[in-house]
Amino acid sequence: HSILYRLRIMVVTNEGKAIPTDMSVKVGGRVFHPSLPVIDGAGPTALEVGFQSSLDAFIKENIPLEPKEGIETRERVLSRMGNLCREWIRYACVQKGLNADSAGGQLFTSGSYRLGVHEPGADIDTILVAPGAVRREDFFGTATSSDDENNEGHRDPNSLAERIKRHPDVTNFVPVEGAAVPILTFDWEGINIDLLFARLNTNT
């Protein structure tokens, strides 16, 4: 059976007066607000209460929830990643003669984590949006030549890929340079991260 949900923003007090209530939900430090208009302001029926109880029991039995420690680890990793990415963007802009203070750049999440429906152990899909002056070559780092024919050369240590690769909390680092969209995949404090790179049409 399908379960129908009705958004409600009114609650009834002991005096019988309806007052508005906040329908926003906080998940992992982020606040989500309803994007649909209110359909019905009435309280739940007995049938709906039964449906809700069945749904709660199913979720408890079949859908594992991430503990508080796991949520805090993910938030800490994303915060540190964001700082590292912004530092790299400022450096890259300075190298190109641009004003680092107005460079901008932002790390976004997507996928199940962004929707707040990820399970414990799930990866985090992220997208780094940078100014147009910061290019694919800056992201991966241009390889320098090497006298050793068996050595592919060294990457620019100031590229984002090399900065992440050298970070003490990062393991299993793999750059995917052949992909249409530049991507780095790695584990940060044991959490698998897919980092995509996107450029704006402007330099700020």
Give the separation between CA 16 and CA 124, rounded to whole angstroms.
46
**β-strand partners of 176:** 183
Compute how many other C-beta atoms are within 10 angstroms of the C-beta atom of residue 107: 18
Length of the chain: 204
Report the C-alpha gap between 7 and 22 in whole angstroms: 11
Question: Which pTM was predicted?
Answer: 0.67
- DSSP-derived secondary structure letter, 3: -
Distances (CA, A) of 15 to 8, 40, 42, 154, 156: 19, 21, 16, 74, 70
Please report which helix (H) or strand (E) contains residue 196, including its range: strand 191-199
Q: Give per-residue pLDDT as tens, 142-201.
A: 776 554 444 455 778 899 999 999 999 999 999 998 889 999 999 999 999 999 999 988
pLDDT-derived band at 15, boundaries 50, 70, 90? low
